[in-house]
Amino acid sequence: MTKRLYVFINFIFLFSIATLWGQQKATPKTGEGIAAFLLRHNRSPQKYYDDFVELNKKKLGKGNVLKMGVTYVIPPVKCVETSSSFSKENSKSGSRQDIKANTIIEPLFGKRQSKVRVKSRRLEGACFYVVSGHGGPDPGAIGKSGRHELHEDEYAYDIALRLARNLMQEGAKVYIIIQDAKDGIRNDAYLPNSKRETCMGDPIPLNQVQRLQQRCDKINSLYQKDRHRYQYCRSIFIHVDSRGRGKQTDVFFYHSGQTEESRRLAINMKNMFETKYDKHQPNRGFSGTVSSRNLYVLSHSIPSAVFVELGNIQNAFDQRRLVISSNRQALAKWLMEGFIIDYQSKK
């Protein structure tokens, strides 16, 4: 009996090894990059990109381009993945991704919301650079609500954090470019101003051009590596406009005139907001717009991007979009859903 058990155990062990190391192979489809190829074969580009390149380095074209008609080895599934599998990119911003538990730990969201459970994979294979406007020595536009001052950078930052968290819940890789180590996601109506914000740890310059170039440089540096790992990389710049107090505005979107992807993203965002307004405020309508504008961050950052103005910080009606925390959450959710629509149309 003992001998039979020993033989059976050895058989199971050898079968498991053969399964683990057995090589699955396939050829790419037209226009397919490594990220899309891996996703088609149920492999996360974030986890398997380096393995794929190592296995197929002699068959890849310049810049790790897939060649048509060539058969590539698909990396075997990693049987054991633990919380020690933290990415280097995440560790730079203080976030940790626990692959086994399907959980992301991001301290920037604050103690109560730092643990992010990934709920779906609708945005797996997508990478986002979320940038809130101004920050550090520059508060941006300032509005007044009674005796309270409303600072653009604080409200843009809170919505940016909420958006980043929503995107992570959908399986995306997310970089929070402008960061405040203390604030976290806040539910207060009136958010006090601070000058703590950094550009991923670097002090933010007061000079406007230097400030904008700094965040573009950070995005472009990250993108040089991410473009090989992800099939979809996008930036979003979140701001609050300032106009006369009597001028009520809906959320509006700017895109770069240089890329069709930027224009399509802005249109998909606007269409999503129209759909939400038709559902939640059917008699009101939505007057937000999409237009091309040669803004510094749109022309100097490489990934396709959208620039969002959330409303007029001087207008009492628009201010409700900012000071009510559930409205800030709704804005973040709708922006996330706009990204999902755009990503799905790209796939």
Give 264-286 pLDDT, tens digit per residue: 999 999 999 999 998 888 888 88
**What's the average model confidence in pLDDT over 112-126?**
94
pLDDT at 206: 93
pLDDT at 86: 33
pLDDT at 26: 92
Q: Are residues 94 and 68 in the same domain?
A: no
pLDDT at 49: 83
For residue 40, tell me if it sits in a domain: yes
pLDDT at 15: 43
Q: Which of 39, 74, 109 is the last residue of a domain?
A: 74
For residue 79, tell me if it sits in a domain: no
CB atoms within 10 A of CB 77: 13
For residue 158, tell me if it sits in a domain: yes
pLDDT-derived band at 73, boundaries 50, 70, 90: very high
pLDDT-derived band at 20, boundaries 50, 70, 90: very low
Q: Are residues 42 and 124 in the same domain?
A: no
For residue 162, tell me if it sits in a domain: yes
Q: Are residues 92 and 56 in the same domain?
A: no
Contact 199, 217 (CB under 8 A): no
Contact 110, 185 (CB under 8 A): yes
Helix (H) or strand (E) holding 165: helix 152-169
Percent of the chain with pLDDT over 70: 86
Structure tokens at 110: 């604050």
Q: Are residues 135 and 10 in the same domain?
A: no
Q: Are residues 263 and 124 in the same domain?
A: yes
Q: Are residues 23 and 158 in the same domain?
A: no
4-18, 217-231, 308-322: which range is least confident on average? 4-18
For residue 37, tell me if it sits in a domain: yes
For residue 81, tell me if it sits in a domain: no
Contact 312, 249 (CB under 8 A): yes
pLDDT at 46: 67
In whole numbers, what is the pLDDT of the chain averaged over residues?
87
- Alpha carbons 33 and 43: distance in angstroms, whole number: 13
pLDDT at 95: 60
**What's the average model confidence in pLDDT over 172-196?**
96
Q: Are residues 38 and 113 in the same domain?
A: no
pLDDT-derived band at 100, boundaries 50, 70, 90: very low
- Alpha carbons 136 and 343: distance in angstroms, whole number: 32
- Alpha carbons 241 and 125: distance in angstroms, whole number: 32
Q: Are residues 65 and 137 in the same domain?
A: no
Structure tokens at 106: 């991001």
Q: Are residues 105 and 17 in the same domain?
A: no
Residue-number span of the structural domain to which 43 is assigned: 2-74
Q: How many domains does the structure of the chain reveal?
A: 2
- Alpha carbons 244 and 287: distance in angstroms, whole number: 17
Q: Are residues 219 and 249 in the same domain?
A: yes
- Alpha carbons 299 and 331: distance in angstroms, whole number: 25
Q: Which of 74, 99, 122 is the last residue of a domain?
A: 74
pLDDT at 89: 42
CA distances (Å), origin 33, targets 25, 38, 68, 221: 16, 9, 11, 20
For residue 80, tell me if it sits in a domain: no
pLDDT-derived band at 144, boundaries 50, 70, 90: very high
Percent of the chain with pLDDT over 90: 71
Q: Which of 31, 50, 74 is the last residue of a domain?
A: 74
For residue 131, tell me if it sits in a domain: yes
29-33, 259-263, 312-316: which range is least confident on average? 29-33
Q: Are residues 313 and 234 in the same domain?
A: yes
Residue 83 has pLDDT above 50, yes or no: no
Q: Are residues 54 and 106 in the same domain?
A: no
pLDDT digits (tens, 9 = 90+) for 205-263: 999 999 999 999 999 999 999 999 999 999 999 999 999 999 999 999 999 998 999 99
Taking the whole predicted model, whether its pTM rises above 0.85 is answered as: no
pLDDT-derived band at 178, boundaries 50, 70, 90: very high
pLDDT at 96: 59
* CATH code of the domain in which 324 resides: 3.40.630.40
